[in-house]
Amino acid sequence: MTTARSAAVGELIAGRYRLLQELGAGAMGSVWRAFDERLERRVAVKRVLPSVGTQLDSDVRDRVLREGRIAARLQHPHAVAVFDVVEDGGLPVLVMEYLPSTSLAEVLLERGPLPVGEVAAIGAQIAAALAAAHAAGVVHRDIKPGNILLAEDGAKITDFGIAHAAGDATITATGVVAGTPAYLPPETVHGRRPVPKSDVYSLGATLYTAVEGVTPFGRDLENPYAVLYRIAAGEMRPPSQAGPLTPVLTAMLARTPADRPSAEEACDALRAIVDCRAFPLTARLPRPRHRLLASIAAGLAALAVLAYVLVDKPAVGTPPSPPPAVVASAPSAAQLEKAVADYYALLPARPGDAWQRLSAAGQAQGADAYRQYWATVTRLAVTTAPRAEGGTVTAGLTLTLTDGSTVRETHRIVLDGLLLGADTLVTSERTAAAAAPVTVTEVRAAPAPHPVEAAPPPAEKVEHGKKGGKGKGRNG
């Protein structure tokens, strides 16, 4: 077991990579801009770290190193290149292409739904990279808006296989949902290993979200298990704003891999939309076999694997009953604490990804207010580790603001499943930034005849980026 340690500017990794600037931190670790002193070039260094308050298992470390070496096989203009995989203090370190960019998740948070042509162009570039990866024997397994980077020279996919190797999967071995499951293919929900066309499905879900402004399975973020059930049952909302993208997205989001196009076929179809020409995608798809029986079997398999409900086989001739409600066991205290710690690890660098970890109640203040608040924070440190009592988690934070001041806060967060909901600010203490000395002319005034001691303010309700009714607050 290896415990995380802090990195510092100027530190030399593996005898050649000099750390220059921390670019961001998330649930999987921190990313630094660095300089390769041997080859004299800029690189990005990703230190894969355990979650807050935990240690990195040796098996996880070995998987990250192995997946990094596999990802290094891929060289494509629309994939962030992995140059090297090394160890630093027992922790895996990935050395990658340095790419000044913005994630698709951040762009969607700022701009909302994107035009069809722009989404098709992004999709074609990412599908081309996936086709090259699949030809090299690499399956990404974690396609989502946060893993698509938008730069001056186009879109690029990052983190090939790394998130899965590091345990950042959406469903754990015990069936617990971690994060947003909206981009999972049905076969993963069923407990089967991802295949190349699993990436096609996840890319289809990502492009659907980009053009529609909502995932294929709606805005119901309060119950991740319900989202998993809708994925397993194929209950996709038909796109309403996708226009010519509609048949392509529908094909990419087919429930069974055999009914989906390959990444190369999806790339051709998306490029045809960009070029405003016809492309008979459906003619190139395998003919679905026994679709009704496959759909019924898929729904039953999902329920069995996830162990949410027991389904009795209906008698012959009995009309089919409606799908049973999904019943999920409550997350443990450790799982709640990890959900809060992982959320804080995304901030302030990745508000787009952090936003996806909020429940509907947590998102009530709106994406704009949330993004505007976190733009005023330059650093967040967890000073008191999250501690769960029932469905509530308490944690202490220290925030550094853009004006140089610091704020020490204690938050009490109510969770819906593993998504963060209502947030109460229990304590808050602000330390102003040091000011330059000034000359003050003394002005004497008569003292107040009856000074009155002010009553302490009551605890405030915070909604992840909006405090009370005064505009800005935080859920650290």
Q: How many helical (H) and strand (E) elements, i.e. helices and strands, does the chain have?
A: 13, 16
With CA atoms as reference, report the closest residue to 474 among 348, 349, 389: 348
The tokens for 117 are 């042509």
**Distances from the Cα of 132 to the Cα of 22, 153, 156, 338, 432, angstroms:** 31, 18, 13, 35, 53
Task: With beta carbons less than 8 A apart as the criterion, state whether 80 and 97 touch.
Answer: yes
Identify which of 4, 56, 11 has the alpha carbon closest to the alpha carbon of residue 25: 4
Two structure tokens written together for 67: 């997946």
- 46 labelled binding-site residue: yes
Q: Count CB neighbours of 296 within 10 A.
A: 13
- Structure-block tokens of residue 163: 């998130």
Q: Which among 50, 51, 40, 49 has a CA at the least distance from the CA of 18?
A: 40
Closest CA to 221 of 357, 422, 424: 357
Residue 88 bears catalytic tag: no
Helix (H) or strand (E) holding 292: helix 291-306
Print the SS3 string covering 403-419: CCCEEEEEEEEEEECCE
Residue 55 in 3-state DSSP?
A: strand
Catalytic residue among 36, 57, 59, 142: 142
Residue 187 identity (one-letter amino acid): E
Write out the DSSP string of 228-268. HHHHHHT-PPPPSS-GGGHHHHHHHT-SSGGGSPPHHHHHH
Sign for the pseudo-dihedral over CA of 166, 169, 173, 178: positive
- Indicate the annotated binding residues: 46
- Indicate the annotated binding residues for ATP: 46
Q: Which residues are catalytic?
A: 142
